[in-house]
Structure 1
């Protein structure tokens, strides 16, 4: 059995996880990477994607993450994400509805600043939709 290490997943809203893990696969900006106990020190920014946590009990959990960074070291891993949502909470129908609404917001924007904010929101929803579809 793989050795456990301390893992924390934090978003601006709350601490999502603070527990032992045997492996965490992180969507880094340079590609996915796995972290296990005793990992060499490193930092990486995150790209939108699915973060997968394996626990000593052999259970697994997945989260959609976007933005932020990960810091790994021999004592553990901390992921500070701008957005972190359990994949179990994401529903394809809800995301599709939000995308339609965001597309309307882009089309209805009255100025460049509003259009840019609406387009960023739309892009984020599409990233989430892609993660749900590939999971």
Structure 2
């Protein structure tokens, strides 16, 4: 049996997962991070992308948005705005959100509106990528 650590994945509106984990891979601002039991303590930023975690030798996947990750040798807490399983994502809704964001980017916007639109486009594209890869 592999060494495990306690993993808690929390979205802004619900607890996504809590239990033992063998390995966690998440997107960070400086690339992907892989976490095993006995990892050095650290706190880092979570970027929107694909979250992967291994339980009993089986990989589980989710689309995550921005957040934070706290890592200690025995537990990891991942806090994100949203965490969604591939089967929970509405592909039509994600496509519509992508099209809306692309249209808004073609229009004149303030810098703040531009950043919000770019974030919406990134979320929609991430959801579509995750569903395409794991459905």
TM-score by length of 1: 0.80
Aligned positions of 1:90-101 closer than 5 A:
90-101=89-100
Shift of 1:105: 5.6
* DSSP 3-state at the match of 2:12: coil
CA change 1:119–1:50 in 2 (3 A) is closer
Q: Which residue of the partner structure matches residue 86 of structure 1? A: 85
Contact 1:106 1:115 in 2 (8 A): no
Q: Which runs of 5+ in 2 are unaligned?
A: none
Q: Which residue of the partner structure matches residue 30 of structure 2? A: 30
* DSSP 3-state at the match of 2:81: strand
Q: Which runs of 5+ in 1 are unaligned?
A: none
Structure 2 distance, partners of 1:40, 1:107, is 45
Contact 2:62 2:130 in 1 (8 A): no
Aligned positions of 1:1-135 closer than 5 A:
1-56=1-56, 58-104=57-103, 112=110, 115-116=113-114, 117-135=116-134
Shift of 1:18: 0.7
Structure 2 distance, partners of 1:5, 1:108, is 48
Structure 2 distance, partners of 1:102, 1:28, is 23
Shift of 1:130: 3.4
Query: Quick check: 37-46 or 94-103, which moved more?
Result: 94-103
Structure 2 distance, partners of 1:61, 1:70, is 18
Shift of 1:31: 1.2
Contact 2:29 2:46 in 1 (8 A): yes
Contact 2:50 2:126 in 1 (8 A): no
Which whole-Å deviations, capped at 9, do the CAs of 1:24-63 have from their partners, x for residues lacking one? Answer: 111111111211111111121111111111112x232111
CA RMSD between the two structures: 2.5
Structure 1 distance, partners of 2:92, 2:132, is 11
